[in-house]
Amino acid sequence: MTDFRPQFLQFALAHDVLRFGEFVTKAGRRSPYFFNAGLFFDGASLGRLGEFYAQALLESGVDCDQLFGPAYKGIPLATSTSIALAARGHNLPYVFNRKEAKDHGEGGSLVGAPIRGRVMIVDDVITAGTSVRESVALIRANGAQPAGVLIALDRMERGQGEASAVQEVRDSFGIPVIAIATLDDVMAFIGGRPELAAHAQAVTDYRARYGVN
Can 104 be counted among the known catalytic residues? yes
Q: How far is CA 61 from CA 18, 54, 112, in A?
A: 27, 11, 25
List strands edge to edge, sheet with 177-182: 108-112, 94-102, 66-69, 118-122, 145-154, 177-182
Q: Which of 73, 90, 99, 102 is catalytic?
A: 102
Can 26 be counted among the known catalytic residues? no
Q: How far apart are CA 156 and CA 154, in angstroms?
A: 5
Task: Count how many residues are written for the chain.
Answer: 213
Q: How far apart are CA 180 and CA 51, in angstroms?
A: 11
Residues 6+ apart with CB under 8 A from 137: none
Give the burial class of 119: count Cβ atoms within 10 A of its Cβ; 0-12 exposed, 13-18 middle, 19 or more buried: buried
Q: Which of 15, 73, 99, 104 is catalytic?
A: 104
Q: How far apart are CA 53 and CA 153, in angstroms?
A: 11
Active site members: 102, 104
